[in-house]
Amino acid sequence: MAVLRKNYSLKEHNTFGIEANAKYFFEFDTLEEIHDFLSKNDIVSIQYLITGGGSNLLFTEDFNGLIIHPNILGIKILEEDDESVLVQVGANEVWDDFVAWTVSKGLAGIENLSLIPGVVGATPIQNIGAYGVEVKEVIESVEAICVETNKEVTFSNANCEFDYRNSVFKNEYKNQFIITQVNFRFLKNKAFKVHYGTIAKELENYTEVNLKNIREVIIKIRESKLPDPKQLGNAGSFFKNPIVNKTQADVLQEKHPNMPIYELNEMQSKLAAGWLIEQCGWKGKRIGDAGVHKDQALVIVNYGAAKGSDILHLANDIRKSVLYKFGVKLELEVNAI
């Protein structure tokens, strides 16, 4: 059922656990309900925001507008043949439950993305990625409703313009489309990807390399590094890993021989923001209730009563020191609202 709430607390709707209120909060379960709501309310003229699980959001103040929260559920196999399976998933299905479902059905492709918080509808926004896999590899298309026209639109994979932690929904179409469902295609002969970090080594403890064991290993690695938002507020990596041109990468490598640098192509390399931040002395630092995680310098945490502005303040200080020491600009991964 659709519900419109007024002066609604967002504390349970952001994994940073920041206290902030929304003036209006609208939840809906079906396409009919959102069509009806958009036809009766001209929301383009007010401030609005679409949210999922709130695991990539930082509220820096109260939200003096309307939050739209799709509650659409459902996992449905649309097509299956000898080569692939096409699955349609509602925006509010919990991502990791969907990953567990694919593993239980023997569908390979997203097991490396186990334990990423949030819901399915948000996964195309920043093209979630981890352990050598990005969700763009299995997205066939994205179903959405245009807020302005109230029309249903299907975005093909190519039209989503996926890139590292990026898509058309973070750029040209930012906040303009409510993603309602995502269609995923899983190939039946898909090879496992276990080259990243210590996955292969951890798998040596198992008798077989299969989906279930890969999922278990990924969960174990993630739990050893990343704080659980239920215990310590955070939104995962606060910054993106910076991409620099080859010349800058070569200069940095010569000055800092231990710097991890990953070649992306002939022109560009990716740096490890966590390493840069740690080298600037931030790892484990705490200022009031905002801090840099002790095991992962790329993760900013809320020890309890930090305000969004405290987190942003710390983030800005980190950016300044990384720019000063390395000449590298850090870009936010988290969506600061």
Give the residue with the Cβ less far from ligand FAD, 70 or 274: 70
What are the C-alpha distances in Å from 149 to residues 240, 281, 324? 33, 49, 46
Q: Which of 121, 242, 291, 308 binds ligand FAD (CB under 6 A)?
A: 121
Q: What does the alpha-carbon distance between residue 183 and residue 138 come to, in Å, rounded to a whole number?
A: 9
Residue written as token pair 């299905």: 93
Helical packing angle, 95-104 and 211-225, nearest 10° = 150
Q: What does DSSP say about strands 57-58 and 335-336: parallel, antiparallel, or unpaired?
A: parallel
By a kind-dependent CB cut-off of 5 to 8 A, residue 124 interacts, out of ligand EPU, ligand FAD, none, with: none
Residue among 188 and 225 whose Cβ is closer to ligand EPU: 225
Q: Which partner from the list ligand EPU, ligand FAD, none does 121 bind, CB cut-off 5 to 8 Å by kind? A: ligand FAD
Q: Which is nearer to ligand EPU, 25 or 326 (CB)?
A: 326
Give the shortest CB-152-to-ligand EPU separation in angstroms: 30
Q: How far is the CB of 334 from ligand EPU (least distance, A)?
A: 8
Whose CA is closest to 174, among 337, 12, 3? 337
d(CA 48, CA 36): 17
3-state secondary structure of 332: strand
Element of type H or E holding 143: strand 139-146
Distance (Å, whole) CA 167 – CA 164: 8
Among 111, 237, 269, 319, the one annotated catalytic? 237
Residues 72-91 that bind ligand FAD (CB under 6 A): 91
165 is catalytic: yes
- Percentages helix, strand, coil for the chain (3-state, rounded to 5) are 30, 30, 40
Look up 111 and say whether it is catalytic: no
C-beta of 103 vs 115, nearer to ligand EPU: 115
Question: Does 168 contact ligand FAD by CB under 6 A?
Answer: no
| Selected catalytic residue, list 27, 165, 185, 215 | 165
Question: In Å, how far from its chain's centre is CA 308?
Answer: 18
Which of 18, 20, 57, 300 contacts ligand FAD by CB under 6 A?
57
Rounded-to-integer distance, Cα 229 and Cα 226, Å: 9
> Closer CB to ligand FAD, residue 252 or residue 299?
299
Residues 6+ apart with CB under 8 A from 204: none
Q: Is 226 in the site for ligand FAD (CB under 6 A)?
A: yes
CA distance 185 to 81: 11
Could you say whether residue 130 binds ligand FAD (CB under 6 A)?
yes
User: Which partner from the list ligand EPU, ligand FAD, none does 183 bind, CB cut-off 5 to 8 Å by kind?
Assistant: none
Catalytic residue status for 321 = no
Would you count residue 311 as binding ligand FAD (CB under 6 A)? Answer: no
Q: Which residues bind ligand FAD (CB under 6 A)?
A: 15, 49-57, 70, 91, 116-119, 121-123, 125-126, 128-130, 178-179, 226, 229, 234-236, 335
**Which residues are known to be catalytic?**
165, 237, 333
